[in-house]
C-alpha cells in the first residue's frame, strides 16, 4: 500500500526578495506539463486518498484545487502551477517532512484568496504536484484565526472566520480542547490503553501515523498489518510497519480497530513529541463522523455524530 503524507514544517532563508531582482520560477523541461483548470484528476485523487480540496484564487486566476492541511505549518504551491502563473521566486527554505529535512525553492504568491476571506500574500514552498497530490496545500499559516469545517455527509470542506468565544457543545457534539504549539493543535487528553499519548488532528494525512515511542508501547500487543509505503511531499518514500490498534481514546471518544503506520520523523521532534508516544490522527478516523470542526482561535476540535455507514466509535457515557 502506498500513501501520500503532507506533514511538513518550513523555515525560510534570510534576505529579502524583490520582483525586479528575482527571476520567475520556471518549470524544468523534464517536469510534466501544467495542470488544467479545473483538474478533475486531482479532485479524484483527493477522494481516493481520503482528502478533499477547496477552490483557491491566485490573483484573478483560478480556481485552483488546494488541500486544507492542518498538519502543514506553511502553505505549499505546486511547482507546475507556480510556473504557469509566472510567480516570482522567493527565498530558499528547508522543509521538515515525514521522511526528513530537505532544501526547497519557494514562490511568492501575491494574492491568495479562499472563499470570501481577504486575499493575502504568501511565500510558499514550491513542490512537484505529483508529490503533494494537489495544486497546493493550505497550511496553518493560512488557517490561523479561522475554523476548518469538514462536512462528510456533503463531502465539503470550508474555511470560516472564528473569533474567540466560549460556547458549549451542541446536541450530539463532543468538544475537545487542545493546546497549541507552532500553530498546531495538540490533544493531550488521549490514551492507548494505559499509555498517555499526544494527538495531532491532521487533515492532510489519509491514514493515521504514530511515532516510534507509540510503536514500542504497542508492539506484540496489537494485530500486525502489512507494511505501508509512506511518500512525503518531497517525493521520498519509506516503508513503515503497520498495526491495527484497539482501545484508542481521544477526548473521551473510544475507537477500536484503527489502522496506523509508524515512522520516526523530525516533524514529531519539531512539535516536541519525538520522545513521547504521539499520533497524527488522519482522515480515515475523521470520516467516522458526520462533521468535524477544527477551531484554531479557540483551540477546539468538535465532533458531530458518528456516520452509520462508516461504523460506530464508542462514545463516552
SS3 81: helix
- Hey, what domains does the chain have and what are their CATH numbers? 2-143 (2.40.70), 146-310 (2.40.70.10)
**Which band of pLDDT confidence, cut at 50, 70 and 90, is reported for residue 14?**
very low
Look over the chain and give the mean of its residue pLDDT values, rounded to a whole number.
77
pTM: 0.77
What is the secondary structure of 140-200 as a DSSP string? HHHHTTEEEEEETTTTEEEEEE-------PPTTEEEEE-EEETTEEEE-SEEETTEE-EEE
Beta-bridged to residue 230, according to DSSP, are 3, 238
C-alpha cell read off for 269: 521532534
CB 298 within 8 A of CB 165: yes
**Which band of pLDDT confidence, cut at 50, 70 and 90, is reported for residue 214?**
very high
Asked whether residue 35 carries a pLDDT value surpassing 60, the answer given is: no
pLDDT value of position 223: 78
C-alpha cell read off for 252: 473521551
Task: Identify the top-confidence range among 79-83, 172-176, 234-238.
Answer: 79-83
Q: What is the mean pLDDT of residues 271-284?
A: 88
Q: What does the alpha-carbon distance between residue 44 and residue 313 come to, in Å, rounded to a whole number?
A: 27
Q: What is the mean pLDDT of residues 11-26?
A: 40
Q: What is the mean pLDDT of residues 118-143?
A: 87
Q: What does the alpha-carbon distance between residue 314 and residue 306 come to, in Å, rounded to a whole number?
A: 9
Amino acid at each position: 500500500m502506498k500513501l501520500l503524507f503532507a506533514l511538513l514544517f518550513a523555515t525560510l532563508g534570510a534576505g529579502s526578495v524583490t520582483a525586479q531582482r528575482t527571476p520567475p520560477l520556471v518549470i524544468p523541461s523534464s517536469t510534466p506539463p501544467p495542470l488544467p483548470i479545473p483538474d478533475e484528476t486531482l479532485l479524484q485523487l483527493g477522494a481516493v486518498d481520503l482528502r478533499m480540496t477547496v477552490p483557491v484564487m491566485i490573483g484573478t486566476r483560478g480556481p485552483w484545487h488546494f488541500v486544507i492541511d492542518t498538519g502543514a505549518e506553511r502553505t505549499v504551491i505546486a511547482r507546475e502551477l507556480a510556473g504557469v502563473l509566472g510567480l516570482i521566486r522567493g527565498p530558499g527554505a528547508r522543509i521538515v517532512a515525514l521522511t526528513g529535512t530537505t532544501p526547497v525553492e519557494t514562490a511568492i504568491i501575491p494574492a491568495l484568496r479562499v472563499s470570501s476571506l481577504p486575499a493575502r500574500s504568501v511565500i510558499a514552498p514550491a513542490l512537484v504536484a505529483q508529490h503533494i497530490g494537489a495544486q497546493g496545500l493550505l497550511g496553518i499559516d493560512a488557517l490561523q484565526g479561522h475554523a476548518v469545517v469538514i462536512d462528510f455527509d456533503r463531502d465539503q470542506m470550508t474555511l470560516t472566520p472564528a473569533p474567540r468565544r466560549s460556547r458549549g457543545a451542541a446536541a450530539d457534539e463532543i468538544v475537545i480542547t487542545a493546546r497549541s504549539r507552532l500553530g498546531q493543535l495538540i490533544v493531550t487528553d488521549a490514551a492507548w490503553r494505559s499509555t498517555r499519548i499526544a494527538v495531532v488532528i491532521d487533515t492532510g494525512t489519509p491514514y493515521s501515523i504514530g511515532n516510534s515511542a507509540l510503536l514500542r508501547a504497542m508492539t506484540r500487543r496489537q494485530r500486525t498489518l502489512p507494511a505501508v509505503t509512506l511518500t512525503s511531499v518531497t517525493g521520498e518514500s519509506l516503508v513503515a510497519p503497520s498495526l491495527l490498534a484497539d482501545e484508542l481514546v481521544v477526548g473521551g471518544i473510544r475507537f477500536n480497530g484503527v489502522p496506523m503506520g509508524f515512522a520516526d520523523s523530525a516533524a514529531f521532534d519539531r512539535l516536541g513529541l519525538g520522545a513521547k508516544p504521539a499520533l497524527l490522527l488522519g482522515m480515515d478516523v475523521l470520516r467516522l463522523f458526520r462533521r468535524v470542526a477544527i477551531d484554531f482561535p479557540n483551540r477546539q476540535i468538535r465532533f458531530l455524530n458518528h456516520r452509520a455507514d462508516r461504523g460506530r466509535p464508542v462514545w463516552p457515557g
